Every structure is written in structure tokens, then in C-alpha cells.
Amino acid sequence: MIYTCTLNPSIDYFIQLEEFQLGSLNRSKETQLFPGGKGINVSRVAKRLGTESTALGFAGGFTGDFLKNFLQSESIAADFVEVLDNTRINVKLKTGMETEINASGPIITGEQQEQLISKINQLEKGDLLVLAGSIPSSMPLTFYSKLSEICKNAGAETVIDTTSPALEETLQFEPLLIKPNHHELGELFHTKVSTVNEAAYFGKRLISLGVRNVIVSMAGEGAVFINQDQVLKAAVPKGILKNSVGAGDSVVAGFLASYTKFGDYEEAFRAGTAAGSATAFSHDLCTKEEAEKLLEQVKIEKIG
């Protein structure tokens, strides 16, 4: 069974404007509300690609209800720990360029954290847990590594998509996959990663630390896949960028949907990259048809 865990989910409030003027009254052209948060997006895209998962995490208040109802309407299983405060609302301004304001989110008490841990304690060999997104400021930065350790002891796999320092702590538990973008990979090594060769070099260093597979996503430049046996580069099709929110999560979902079906890393990397670009080229997360249409246009090259 696949589980996604989003400690700080959101409602993503997309606001389209001709232009945005700081300090003035701005009126929107169009607005949309979507459930958000990295694990939630992975569950939604995976579902569209035919792969079931259960969304775990914390949800509260009327925004938490929106989230749960939305997932239910898409037939996605969810098992959230209830919190007192409202789930956050993240603002995504679309004015020709994208500006994001991600809110801090509700306070999560120690007792609520324990409730989530007891759900993770139920995982067993053959299960897979995706830990994705930021850790709320009321929680310890070691929370993902704690969950990773529980999974490792149970024989369950983990996939990690978060930033340093939380990411760093999880590496010792040998995740199946981590998916930093090139900025996040740079942060991990206190440097700047801008080229495919740099991504490959630092990706290999992660493999030597025990990570089994790394995808470094590089937005319009595509992505790099690194494991013990090979380094692959994916060149992505050119298209009109409509929405980069959720593109990274779509890479994770596409990879997992393919890998859990066919067990082939190269194909899973291709499927992940295609899903990422399909989301980038659409207003919402990609559909199965949109992702499949791009599959053949993703050019994979072995570079190591």
C-alpha cells in the first residue's frame, strides 16, 4: 500500500491578475481553490495515473474539511489527524510570472504528533510512505527522520521530498527515492547547483550516503536521475509554462505510479518527468492523457 504524508497541507488559492501592484487595490481576473501540499498532490496525480494511495497528515477547521471533501470527491482515501486550527491557505499569484505565499500553518500538539506516529507504526513490509513538504514550525525538524526510522525497521520503503535540514536527517535511513530540485540539492551541500554535471556529481554523493535513487528536477531544463548503476538525463519538451505549482510533486507521482507497476527505473524516470512537464503545461495538476502524451517526447540520455 502507498501512503503519502503531508504534515502541513494547504488550500492553494490561485489568483489570476493582469498585473499586481504592491500597496494598491488589485482586482483578480479569476480565482480557483485546490487542495495543496506536496503529499496531497502526489496522491492526486497518482490517482489520475491509476495508482491508489492513502493521504495521511494533519487537517483542521473549515479548510481541513474542504481538503477532506475534495479528496473524497476524487475517491482518494485519507486518514488525517484532526487539529484544532485551520489548515493553511497558500496564495499563488499568477500575473504572467508566479508569486507564492506559503503560510506557516496550524500548531500541531505533541499528542497529535503521537497520533500520526501510531498510524505510521502500522506500516509493514511492502508498504511505501511518501514524506513530502515542509515541517510545521511547531514540530521538530527530526520528525521525518523519526518516521523514516520507523519505516526502515518495519521493512517499508520511503520517498522523501523536502528541504534541508529535515532532508539531511532522513538520508541515513536509505530512502528508495529523494527528489530535490537543483536549488534544494545545492542547499544540502551548501553550494550552488546549476548544471546537469553538478546535479550528477552531488546526486552521486547522496547515493554514497545510502540513498537508493535520486531525481534532481531542474524545471524547464528537465531532470537528472542517479543511482548506483547509472546516471540519466531527461530533456523535457518545450511548451508554454502555465503552472509550475505541483510540477515537482507530479514527478514523484509519475515515478511511483510507473515504478510500482513495472519496476523499471528508467521508465519510471521518464514517466515522472513527463508528468512534471504535463503539470507545468496545464492549469491544474496533469491528467493521465496529458502525461502520456508527453512520454515519447521526453528524451533520456545515459550520461554516466
Ligand X SMILES: O=P(O)(O)OC[C@H]1O[C@](O)(COP(=O)(O)O)[C@@H](O)[C@@H]1O
Between 61 and 239, CB nearer to ligand ADP: 239
Instruction: Give the residue, chosen from 107, 219, 235, 303, that forms a contact with ligand ADP under the rule CB under 6 A.
Output: 219
Kindly tell me the sign of the dihedral angle through the C-alpha atoms of 243, 238, 291, 234: negative
How far apart CA 140 and CA 106 sit, in angstroms, is: 14
Among the listed ranges 20-28, 41-49, 78-86, 235-243, the one in contact with ligand ADP (CB under 6 A) is: 235-243
Q: Does 213 bind ligand ADP (CB under 6 A)?
A: no
Q: Contact with ligand X (CB under 6 A): which of 4, 10, 63, 170? A: 10
Q: Is there binding between residue 273 and ligand ADP (CB under 6 A)?
A: yes
Give bridge partners of residue 302 from the DSSP assignment.
232
Site string for ligand X, 227-256 (x = CB under 6 A): ------------------xxxxx-------
Among 115, 134, 287, 297, binds ligand X (CB under 6 A): 134
Under rule CB under 6 A, residue 38 binds ligand X: yes
Q: According to CB under 6 A, which residues from 86 to 105 bind ligand X?
A: 90, 102
Q: Are 49 and 295 in contact (CB under 8 A)?
A: no
Q: Pairing relation of β-strands 10-16 and 30-36?
A: antiparallel
Q: Which three cell numbers stand for residue 223?
A: 531532470
| Residue ranges in 274-293 that form contacts with ligand ADP under rule CB under 6 A | 276-277, 280
Upstream peptide bond of 165 is cis (omega within 30 degrees of 0): yes
- Decide: is 167 part of the binding site for ligand ADP (CB under 6 A): no
Q: Is 251 in the site for ligand ADP (CB under 6 A)?
A: yes
* Bridge partners of residue 98, in order along the sequence: 94
Which of 132, 156, 199, 218 is close enough to bind ligand ADP by CB under 6 A?
Answer: 218
We find the least distance from the C-beta atom of residue 44 to ligand ADP, in angstroms, to be: 15
CB of 135 to ligand ADP, least distance (A): 16
Q: Which is nearer to ligand ADP, 152 or 183 (CB)?
A: 183
Question: Which residue's Cβ has the minimum distance to ligand X?
Answer: 36
Residues 181, 224, 197, 170: is their CA dihedral positive or negative? Answer: positive
How many Cβ atoms are within 10 Å of 244's Cβ, its own excluded? 15
**Alpha helices per DSSP H over 179-223:** 182-188, 196-208
- Residue whose beta carbon is closest to ligand ADP: 248
For residue 273, the partner it binds in ligand ADP, ligand X, none, with Cβ less than 5 to 8 A by kind, is ligand ADP
DSSP string, 57-107: EEEEHHHHHHHHHHHHHTT-EEEEEEESSPPEEEEEEESSSEEEE------
Give, in degrees to the nearest 5, the angle at Cα 67 between 62 and 69: 90
The maximal CA–CA distance of the chain, rounded, in angstroms, is: 56
**Residue 248 Cβ vs ligand ADP, minimum distance, rounded to whole Å:** 2
Name the burial class of residue 102, with classes exposed (0-12), middle (13-18) and buried (19+) by CB atoms within 10 angstroms of its CB: middle
Question: Is 249 in the active site?
Answer: yes
Q: Burial-class residue 249 by CB neighbours within 10 Å (0-12, 13-18, 19+).
A: buried
What residues between 36 and 55 interact with ligand ADP by CB under 6 A? none
Active site residues: 249
Contacts with ligand ADP, residue ranges (CB under 6 A): 181, 217-220, 222-223, 236, 239, 241, 244, 247-248, 251, 273, 276-277, 280
Contacts with ligand X, residue ranges (CB under 6 A): 8, 10, 12, 36-38, 41, 90, 102, 133-134, 245-249
